[in-house]
Amino acid sequence: GLFAIAGAAALGRGWSAGTLLRRYLVLSSLLLALAVMARGLLTLLVPEGWGWVSPAIVQGVGIGALYLMMINSAFAWLLLGREQQQAELARLEVVDALTDVPNRRGFYQTLTPWIALARRPGMPTALIILNLDHFKRVNDSYGHPVGDQVLKAMVDVCKKQLRDSDLMGRLGGAEFAIQLPRTSQEDALMVAERIRNAVAALPVKAGKAVINMTASLGVTTVRADDTTVSLFKRADEALQAAKQAGRNRVAEAQAGTLPA
């Protein structure tokens, strides 16, 4: 009975967010566990029976509750396994499996509320797009496993330059986006330059080879009239300007006229 109560307590974690089936299994497990424990106490305290409650009835109820508790525990175990699988699938829909940062979909979902907030007065939100220079040569020369190692090392070193409130996501390939809440374009340029220096100073050891990478970055801020498309278009134009200027550098988007 105590074992079943402990299992019900574990199943009851996150009660407020649990499904109706999960709550039912928690309550039924508790009731059945209490019935099994009550049967044991009645057998010890009243071995000869108590009035119309004969030992046979108590034993039958206890055995029935025990079997139901076992069946209930099996359903609970299956439910937990299914919920874990569904949670993992839901996580993979918005998280990049390689670098463990939000993928394009997950990053867009997080950025959308900040675009809406840009219509209100206050500190703007900055966006940085980062692309590793000549990353295809790494895959072609050393193979995709080494390329994956380079990407993970680059993400780790970038996170060290960011605040807890900042968000880094993978757009695809070797292109990443960084959201900097409540950050002006001038401050975002400083952050981007720090990231560029950190990436350039990062040697990645892959077997006997040591790979040194550089990155080009485009910087902009969210404007009041922005959509996701216009914001990323402007940041991508800044990134292309950094590449055309020789790569391994930071470029900012051209200032535009805000609507009245």
Average pLDDT for runs of 10 along the chain of length 260: 64 66 73 71 59 59 68 69 68 84 93 85 89 93 92 95 95 95 94 96 86 95 91 96 96 64
Structure tokens at 103: 């993928």
- The Cα 229–Cα 43 span in angstroms is 72
Residues 6+ apart with CB under 8 A from 238: 129, 218, 219, 220, 251, 252, 253
The reported pLDDT for the residue numbered 56 is 64
The reported pLDDT for the residue numbered 7 is 63
Domain residue ranges of the chain, discontinuous segments joined by +:
2-94, 104-252
The reported pLDDT for the residue numbered 104 is 93
The reported pLDDT for the residue numbered 212 is 92
The reported pLDDT for the residue numbered 71 is 73
Identify the CATH assignment for 104-252 out of 3.30.70.20, 3.30.365.10, 3.20.20.70, 3.30.70.270. Answer: 3.30.70.270
Per the confidence metrics, is the pTM higher than 0.75?
A: no
* Measured CA distances, 161 to 52, 197, 216 (Å): 75, 10, 16
Number of Cα atoms under 13 Å in the Cβ half of residue 136: 0
Q: Is 147 left (phi over 0), alpha (psi -120 to 50) or beta?
A: alpha
Residue 50 DSSP label: B
